[in-house]
Structure 1
């Protein structure tokens, strides 16, 4: 049944921990460079990390930490971290300098623009990534072209256009829109800035993943400031897997055998990581078709080749679920228990919370709870990757009860 929650466990998740060279680019030292660069942005600050103590007690675990990415650069989502870091590196590459020697003010200066001339950045997006690329291009004084898959929300399109991009909704699914964007970039001599990777296109996606890992570096600092221990578990939503792979790669590089237990979550209609992990052959197995889901940011059928290796080797579990799981998470975070902070989390941001609540509250998931070692000592990190980026859709779920719980 389409709404079923399916679990796949990775019994080999610790087998390759002796060689984590595929996470070197996500080391704390590497991400220190990223964070230092973002600190030159005039509106940079760490997004909030909420501790939902009463919800954790209600669900029978020790801690629930929610990282709220709706506060990132005023763009209501985390994706700007990847887009901005990649665009900045592209400019530095044109200049022949290392990003360690650059700053926001330097890269946006007229002197730099005159030196390297016009650049057009091209991308495909379900919404948040494209807005982040357009925002970065505008801030540095360059053009952007953004293509969206069919069914994309008009609100998300207009948000991208407000950042100065030439943007349109195509009649293609996400993966075909990516291929079309690449063909346009090649034709006009633009630079493709895509948040996925494939054979022959891995340089820029590496920068994007490094940008995302700013989130994890902030979390570690924030937990230290709280005097709190590191998380025992992390729920990571996946589209192409760039976000999930970057966060897991950071934790793996930093903590190795002692890294948090990781659960990778996808919508049933676009579960390309789950499908690939379930194959047992270690290879990528794409999902095709329209991939309809309210989790628009996760509606991707072809995994990032860089991220896939990290998720394949180090994730503990993979989950494919229906839209009602995300809708439940949106309602829980938007209607907190007394004393807990409210978090406005969009369709692609709340699925981890929805899944955690079901595992802990439903008797039929008792075995899952035990396999994942979720108990009264567990400290769970969930990253709400977006706010209400589609306000009408958010209200349909939270106000009107769209996607009711399936039992």
Structure 2
């Protein structure tokens, strides 16, 4: 790596804890969706040895509700709650057919979303479940495999000649009585849906709690989570920075889309202007969600921005432990590799209170959503 590709780190020694925030009804909702099953929690001994810790657990989200990423959890819950707010209250239902029948008097309805891949495909899948249409806006640099996957869900795909952030603005302009915007980032006057997206991700961590309990294992000492606009990281902070479980949280993002790290350094949200060319396409965001920002500002113990080479290292290392993780999915592991194996590793270990006996959790948020790139990186 050249000097310009060195990871950037922000440490927050006085991160706060928060009152516990759990919504068990979210998990109850997800259990009613087609193909629901908890995703695997995998032990990663090769990665643990490389990081110099006692245990690494990887939550493998490469197959979630028959899609190759975790985003369907936030997209489905947020869509359900928004539709109920606009057209409910719904009568009790047990299957999606029963829910879709209650929406038929309000058709046609179009779900609109901006995406750099997985969120848009998830919104399109929910639209298909409910008999709705989907209009998905994507930045011009999205790889063809991810575009085809969205179209394969029956969605209308629109390429925006600009960045993901510009696609978000274009999607917001389409909101009206027939077009319901399902965004995982917030803006002025639009916070309800992104808040439900964050809630939707809580299913991941309730599953992890149960999986660790079944192994008679304690909670992790450190959790590493990738950050785009920050919604998943906000869900991690809500769960793991609870006062009764003060796990340390590390946020990870691409070096050239480091809007969270820059905002932490500035003490307020600042934009990382594009282009955002990282292979970690799901994290190529220039603006942190204002809904996620307070949680990240106060709850992150560390933030690290990594070059693509670190994500590639992590993909190969996770593969050695049997986990297929795409470029964005491996970012959390890549951030820990950068923190714990570089020249300042001792200082970072001390800041995170990591020892050779520590337990670490990583969320691998996607599988090989770009199969050609995955094959090239793994050689």
User: Quick check: 2:228–2:283 contact (8 Å CA) kept in 1?
Assistant: yes
Partners of 2:303 and 2:49 lie apart in 1 by 26
Q: 1:286 offset after TM fit, Å?
A: 1.2
Unaligned runs of 5+ in 1: 337-341, 400-407
1:10 matched to which residue of 2? 12
Q: Which has the higher helix share?
A: 1
Equivalent residues in 2 for 1:177-256, closer than 5 Å: 177-186=167-176, 189-252=178-241, 255-256=242-243
2:38 matched to which residue of 1? 46
1:271 matched to which residue of 2? 258
1:123 matched to which residue of 2? 113
Q: 1:153 offset after TM fit, Å?
A: 0.6
Unaligned runs of 5+ in 2: none
Structure 1-normalised TM-score?
Answer: 0.88
Partners of 1:189 and 1:105 lie apart in 2 by 21
Pick closer, same or farther for the CA change 1:358–1:267 going to 2, 3 Å: closer
Q: 1:54 offset after TM fit, Å?
A: 5.0
Higher mean alpha-carbon deviation, 312-321 vs 350-359, is at 350-359
Instruction: Give the root-mean-square deviation of aligned CA atoms.
Output: 1.8
Partners of 2:276 and 2:51 lie apart in 1 by 32
Helix, strand or coil: the match of 2:303? strand
1:134 matched to which residue of 2? 124
1:376 to 332, 356, 372: 356
Pick closer, same or farther for the CA change 1:394–1:322 going to 2, 3 Å: same
Q: 1:185 offset after TM fit, Å?
A: 2.8
Partners of 2:100 and 2:291 lie apart in 1 by 33
Partners of 1:183 and 1:94 lie apart in 2 by 18
1:36 to 2:38 alignment: no
User: Quick check: 1:274–1:319 contact (8 Å CA) kept in 2?
Assistant: yes
User: Quick check: 2:44–2:57 contact (8 Å CA) kept in 1?
Assistant: yes
User: Quick check: 2:13–2:351 contact (8 Å CA) kept in 1?
Assistant: no
Partners of 2:363 and 2:71 lie apart in 1 by 12
Pick closer, same or farther for the CA change 1:104–1:287 going to 2, 3 Å: farther
